Homo-oligomer: A and B are copies of this chain.
Amino acid sequence: MNLTTLRIDLDRLHRQLVTLGGIGALPGGGVARLALSDADRAGRDLVVDWMRKLGLQVTVDRIGNVLGLRPGESDGLPVTVGSHIDTVKAGGIYDGNLGVLAGLEVIAVLNDAGIVTKRPLAVGFFTNEEGSRFAPDMMGSAVHQGFLDLDQALAVRGIDGKSVGEELVRIGYAGEVPTGIFRAHCYFELHVEQGPVLEQEGMQIGAVEGVQGISWTEYRISGVSNHAGTTPMRMRRDAGYLAAAISVEARAIAQAMGGDQVATTGLLQFKPNLVNVIPGEAVITVDLRNTDEMLLQAAERRMHEFVARNAAAENLDVQQRVLARFEPVAFDPVMVDLVEREAHRLGYSVRRMPSGAGHDAQMFAPNCPTAMIFVPSVRGISHNPAEFTTQDQIGAGAQVLLGVVLEQAMK
């Protein structure tokens, strides 16, 4: 048969998205299925049931990652599709869930057509991608691919004081399969963009080239709190001024560097924070991201030099602390090309782009050829009950996923 005529069943996929989104549904819309909560268990049980009904052989590993396996003609490494089904405290029904359920839809299409692929297939969901209850995020995929120690992860206590290990046992997902040894032939993940780029450019598909490196630095600035009227400008040690100048410099750095560089100062606090008092203390965080490690380091260096120079000029003390630092992840160029080509072949508009957020795929990227497919997020809204992606957009993304999986699984 001609594999290129296979089409995903958008109604079936959409029905499953809505059904899974009904578990942990919030009164005003959106969904809450924090990792390893009762709602997460109920969601897991439903997806595992769907996997079994599709004939997949379901395995659960020791960190609670679930993989559904479908044999191929040969015994090689599986072409793997995955994402997550945990959510933030008040999230939408697409983030993560789409990638898992689109993977199951690929299996359903192959089942319906009676196709056995050359290579085995695997569809999985990974524990605690969001990190909203337990830190770090992408915990399950990190343990799965050998980048985080299992015992360390099991010992992590969440915002409610309970540990990952205890909660896995409680919800019945402390599996037997060892972690850190699973090898995939390649890995694909379909995900909502969580940003505005595709929508604003009228694009249907994003061929994700990698995940931006992230650098978070906190600056705690100490000066002298004084009267706004009686203290001449030349005698001030204004902690608030330096914090504000850091924010303006962050923007200047991003503009000067261009490309994928982004810079955000999302948190800023003054003390005592009164109209007529010069701030004696200020805290500001700088979030720098770039897909290129050398450029990210250049941005960090420029900011550090700016802070040091201006702290000296203003006679301020600055304590700086790294809150997070991840190097950029580059996806496999061959896989990225494949996504782009498949989208073109299907007649979808497509652009190559970085991911500004972290994803399970980045844990696979160092170990096997990996790529991601983005579909638009309406108005760029993410981690919010108002998160939305249209049915057409979902259909396009799932169809591309089917194409790239077949391309890899049939050769």
Q: Which residues of A pack against B, CB within 8 Å?
A: 193-197, 200, 212, 214, 216, 218, 226-233, 235, 238, 240-241, 243-248, 251, 254-255, 261-270, 272-279, 285, 287, 289, 323, 355-358, 380, 382-383
Contact B275 A227 (CB under 8 A): no
Contact A232 B195 (CB under 8 A): yes
Contact A266 B270 (CB under 8 A): yes
Q: Give 16 CB contacts A-B under 8 Å.
A: A195-B226, A200-B235, A226-B380, A227-B383, A229-B358, A230-B357, A230-B382, A231-B262, A233-B255, A238-B251, A264-B277, A266-B276, A266-B278, A267-B270, A267-B275, A275-B323
Copies of this chain held together in the complex: 2
Given contacts A227-B357, A266-B275, 5 further A-B contacts (CB under 8 A): A228-B289, A229-B287, A233-B254, A233-B255, A275-B323
Contact of A197 (CB < 8 Å), options: B232, B244, B246: B232
Contact A227 B380 (CB under 8 A): yes
When distances are taken between beta carbons in the complex, the residues of chain B under 8 Å from A275 are: 216, 218, 266-267, 285, 287, 323
Contact B228 A287 (CB under 8 A): yes
In the assembled complex, how far is the CB of residue A266 from the closest CB belonging to chain B, in whole angstroms?
5
Contact of A266 (CB < 8 Å), options: B218, B273, B323, B355: B273
Residue ID in chain B nearest A218 by CB atoms: B275
When distances are taken between beta carbons in the complex, the residues of chain B under 8 Å from A254 are: 233
Contact A356 B266 (CB under 8 A): no
Contact of A380 (CB < 8 Å), options: B230, B243, B323: B230
A244 and B226 alpha carbons, distance in the complex (Å): 20
Residue ID in chain B nearest A199 by CB atoms: B235
Contact of A264 (CB < 8 Å), options: B228, B235, B382: B228
When distances are taken between beta carbons in the complex, the residues of chain B under 8 Å from A193 are: 230
A228 and B264 alpha carbons, distance in the complex (Å): 6
Contact A227 B356 (CB under 8 A): yes
Q: Which 6 A-B pairs have the closest CB atoms?
A: A195-B230, A229-B356, A244-B247, A230-B356, A228-B264, A244-B244
Contact of A240 (CB < 8 Å), options: B216, B231, B268, B279: B268
A188 and B98 alpha carbons, distance in the complex (Å): 77
A3 and B261 alpha carbons, distance in the complex (Å): 76
A272 and B268 alpha carbons, distance in the complex (Å): 10
When distances are taken between beta carbons in the complex, the residues of chain B under 8 Å from A232 are: 195-197, 262
Contact A262 B229 (CB under 8 A): yes
When distances are taken between beta carbons in the complex, the residues of chain B under 8 Å from A227 are: 194-195, 356-357, 380, 382-383
A241 and B246 alpha carbons, distance in the complex (Å): 10
Contact A230 B276 (CB under 8 A): no
Contact of A241 (CB < 8 Å), options: B212, B251, B285, B383: B251
In the assembled complex, how far is the CB of residue A288 from the closest CB belonging to chain B, in whole angstroms?
10
When distances are taken between beta carbons in the complex, the residues of chain B under 8 Å from A287 are: 228-229, 275-276
A382 and B354 alpha carbons, distance in the complex (Å): 53
Known: A273-B269, A275-B323, A277-B266. Contact between A355 and B230, CB under 8 A?
A: yes
When distances are taken between beta carbons in the complex, the residues of chain B under 8 Å from A357 are: 227, 229-230
A226 and B167 alpha carbons, distance in the complex (Å): 32
- Most central of A197, A229, A230, A323 by chain B CB within 10 Å: A230
When distances are taken between beta carbons in the complex, the residues of chain B under 8 Å from A265 are: 240-241, 244
